[in-house]
Amino acid sequence: MGEQLSQYTTLRLGGPAQDLLTHTDPAAWPDLTHAARRYPEPPFMLGGGSNILAADTAYPGLVIRMATTGITTRLVGDGAVEVTAQAGQPLHHLVTHAAAEQLSGIEYLAGIPGTVGAAPVQNTGAYGQQIADTLTAVTAHDWHTGRTVRLPAASCGFGYRTSHFKAQPGRWTILTVTLRLTRSHHAAPITYRHLADALDVPLGTRPPLPEAVAAVLADRRARGLLLPDDGPDSRQAGSVFLNPLLTPAQAAAVHAAGGPLHRNADGEAVRASAGWLLQQCGHHPGQRLAPGVYCSTRRALTLVARDGATATAFAATLHTLASQVERQMGIRLRPEPVSVSPRP
Ligand SMILES: Cc1cc2nc3c(=O)[nH]c(=O)nc-3n(C[C@H](O)[C@H](O)[C@H](O)COP(=O)(O)OP(=O)(O)OC[C@H]3O[C@@H](n4cnc5c(N)ncnc54)[C@H](O)[C@@H]3O)c2cc1C
């Protein structure tokens, strides 16, 4: 067995992988696909490991860690610029690079850990913005056909924290991501009430780009949404449950109980706050849930690993919390982190 996955996940949990290769040179991709053919299953793709719960047991296969970096830009007219980033590029670096170049469209994604290549997988988003808003295409390797293809955004199946890439685990490796950003000194209009309030401006305001990035980082810091380098909350994968979709009856019940409701970008579907549901069931920041597994010191929706934690205990805790919310509130929660476990 090879390297421990715990070295590469922000929860610092996970047993050894049979083999782990780090991909740093885009030109070497064909060689890597060739090497991967000796394994019976397609490789498991690892980015920054910030949305992964890797099992304690050994992973019997190949893991490829995407560490290619590089950003290129191309003027496309009408004040738009096409920005293409390699999959291993840290997303936050791309955000600050774009803001420094006066390119607007991804500024509200500041402070999200992980890589550009993983962002389309769960259509990573925050503060009313998601990667799908500006993504025009990805280049991706299809392990089913063995070919590398360019997929336009319309073929990516984006939805709330989901995509075809997430729905077909093991099929796709994203190699590059292309975004269409707008040349401007100003950020996209604020659509997220909490951020507008933090800046004391009306919804729809377009703050200067550096101000928008700084406001998001300050707000994330205040709410425990940045990944700390050390301290009690440093081992985590962010929110552990997605905000669940509600039926009209559930939405009415949550509203009557004073709970916040979020509308999907389509304006139709209504979601509850998973954090609020946990709080309604008595969970609170700092709470000990299992040996080594706690709610973060800042919010119930982020679970953290501390001394003595195992992936097994972490996964069992997610199951227990989801069952409790379903029993007490009649609403089913789905975990956000992706489980990496041996295939049955
Ligand atoms: C403190 C904190 C705050 C967070 N805040 C947010 C937030 O506001 N919004 C949000 O959406 N998420 C958030 N997250 C979750 C996470 O950071 C994002 O989902 C991020 O996009 C994951 O990137 P990653 O590179 O770490 O992916 P990983 O965790 O390495 O992988 C996640 C999934 O993507 C797949 N994958 C990774 N790279 C590739 C690739 N190149 N090709 C194909 N598949 C790939 C993996 O196989 C896995 O299924 C947060 C996490 C933390 C720890």
Q: Which CATH number is 317's domain given?
A: 3.90.78.10
Last residue of a domain, one of 31, 66, 101: 66
Ligand 1 centroid distance, CA of 93 (Å): 15
Which residues surround ligand 1 with Cβ inside 6 Å? 10, 44-52, 66, 87, 112-115, 117-119, 121-122, 124-126, 165, 172-174, 225-227, 236-238, 338
Last residue of a domain, one of 222, 250, 279: 222
Ligand 1 pocket test target in 46, 51, 63, 135 with most atoms within 8 Å of CB: 51
Average pLDDT over residues 159-175: 95
pLDDT the model gives residue 38: 93
For strands 338-340 and 52-54, give the pairing.
parallel
Q: Cα separation of 25 and 69, whole Å?
A: 8
Shared-domain flag, residues 80 and 218: yes
pLDDT the model gives residue 79: 85
Tokens linked to 249: 């009856």
Residue 46 alpha carbon, nearest atom of ligand 1 = 30
For strands 80-86 and 172-183, give the pairing.
antiparallel
pLDDT exceeds 80 at position 265: no
Tokens linked to 142: 């299809």
pLDDT the model gives residue 266: 65
Ligand 1 centroid distance, CA of 2 (Å): 23
pLDDT the model gives residue 268: 67
The residue from 6, 50, 239, 296 that is catalytic is 239
Per DSSP, 50 falls in state: T
Q: pLDDT category, 237, cuts 50, 70, 90?
A: very high
Shared-domain flag, residues 61 and 80: no
**Chain centroid to CA 18:** 25
Ligand 1 pocket test target in 66, 92, 112 with most atoms within 8 Å of CB: 112
Ligand 1 centroid distance, CA of 114 (Å): 5
pLDDT exceeds 70 at position 323: yes
Q: pLDDT category, 341, cuts 50, 70, 90?
A: confident
Q: Cα separation of 108 and 129, whole Å?
A: 6
> Is 239 part of the annotated catalytic residue set?
yes
Shared-domain flag, residues 113 and 145: yes
Residue 326 included in any domain: yes
pLDDT averaged over the chain?
95
pLDDT the model gives residue 317: 97
- Which residues pair with residue 53 across a beta bridge? 339
3-class DSSP state of 204: coil
| Helices (runs of H) and strands (runs of E) counted in the chain | 8, 19
CATH of the domain at 147: 3.30.465.10
Residue 277 included in any domain: yes
Residue 228 included in any domain: no
pLDDT the model gives residue 263: 79
Average pLDDT over residues 79-100: 97
Nearest CA to ligand 1 atom 50: 238
Residue 230 included in any domain: no
63-89 pLDDT, tens per residue?
A: 999 999 999 999 998 889 999 999 999
Shared-domain flag, residues 59 and 80: no
**Number of folded domains that form the chain:** 3
299-320 pLDDT, tens per residue?
A: 999 999 999 999 999 999 999 9
Residue 231 included in any domain: no
pLDDT exceeds 60 at position 343: no
Q: pLDDT category, 338, cuts 50, 70, 90?
A: confident
Domain range for 254 is 236-340
Residue 87 alpha carbon, nearest atom of ligand 1 = 41
Last residue of a domain, one of 18, 40, 66: 66
Q: Cα separation of 316 and 290, whole Å?
A: 9
> Is 327 part of the annotated catalytic residue set?
no
Cβ-contact 96, 110 below 8 angstroms? yes
Q: Cα separation of 251 and 308, whole Å?
A: 39
78: left (phi over 0), alpha (psi -120 to 50) or beta: left
CATH of the domain at 61: 3.30.43.10
What one-letter code names the amino acid at 126?
A: A
pLDDT the model gives residue 106: 98
The residue from 161, 271, 298, 299 that is catalytic is 161
Shared-domain flag, residues 26 and 135: no
Nearest CA to ligand 1 atom 15: 51
- Helix spans in the chain (H): 29-36, 91-100, 164-167, 193-199, 209-222, 248-256, 274-280, 311-329
Residue 244 included in any domain: yes
